[in-house]
Amino acid sequence: MRTLIVYYSMEGNTDYTAKRIAENIGADLLRLFPIKAYRDKGFAKFLSGGRSAIMGQKPKLEKYRIDLKRYDRIVIGFPVWASRFAPPIRTFVEQNREELKKKELVAFACQGGSGAERALAGLRKSIGVNAFALEAVFIEPRKKPSLQTDREIDTFSKLMADKDEATKGSTGSTRRERMRKHLTHWNYKKHAKLCAMVYLPLIAFDMTVSYVIFKKVLDRADERDGI
């Protein structure tokens, strides 16, 4: 299952998580950047970011080139601001909502305090889906690194990988079942049709090659005899 991780990161926590997941499952990455960057220091960071999230703003993003149709699964990652998902994600959802609904959706949130569950619920509502295939919350993976958090990210990745394997197995089983049903109902008409499809092209090819060879032999014989 081809996977794309779409995320916004200010302090690097979401970026760290997205890249670790991508490395684990072989996913592509799309990092979103607002044209007007948020302040990332001091009290202004919390004031501007929190206010933007509460007001449901949709900041303009730097241009990105991605074809969502190429992917089966979209993973959305974001930091939690005032119990809401970061506004750049809202812009992305607004731009791609209908296509997102066609995909298997997974989401993860990074937070330092609380509110992730509410933020994830808000994201589901914004997209227009009842549930994500998987979702997770990580506590400042980069700012407060720990083996426990890394294991949680790896476990989250493994759940996606396991779903991929289950899907492959299911697909293989379905194909085998179709083949079994096909052979069960095999009859002489199907056999004759298969033979015609296989042997007629071979006979035509053989006759063509034979004609070319004999023609060359006869032409050389004529030249040798002076005809």
| CATH label of the domain that carries residue 64 | 3.40.50.360
Residue 114 lies in a domain: yes
64 pLDDT exceeds 50? yes
Q: Return the top range by mean pLDDT from 36-45, 161-170, 181-190, 200-209.
A: 161-170
Say if residue 40 is in the same domain as residue 119: yes
Output the pLDDT for position 204.
72
Euclidean distance between CA atoms 159 and 154, whole angstroms: 9
Q: What is the mean pLDDT of the chain?
A: 85
Domain housing 159? 3-170
Q: How many domains does the chain have?
A: 2
Output the pLDDT for position 218.
65
CA pseudo-torsion sign 39, 40, 46, 50: positive
181 pLDDT exceeds 50? no
Say if residue 146 is in the same domain as residue 211: no
CB-based contacts of 124-133 (< 8 A; 24+ apart in sequence): 126/85, 126/90, 126/93, 127/93, 127/97, 127/100, 127/101, 128/97, 128/101, 129/101, 129/105, 132/105, 132/106, 132/107, 133/73, 133/104, 133/105, 133/106, 133/163
178 pLDDT exceeds 90? no
99 pLDDT exceeds 90? yes
* Count of Cβ atoms closer than 10 Å to residue 28 Cβ: 13
Output the pLDDT for position 165.
84
pTM for this model (two decimals): 0.72
- If 0-12 CB within 10 Å is exposed, 13-18 middle and 19+ buried, where does residue 202 land? exposed
Euclidean distance between CA atoms 19 and 7, whole angstroms: 10
Say if residue 35 is in the same domain as residue 125: yes
19 pLDDT exceeds 90? yes
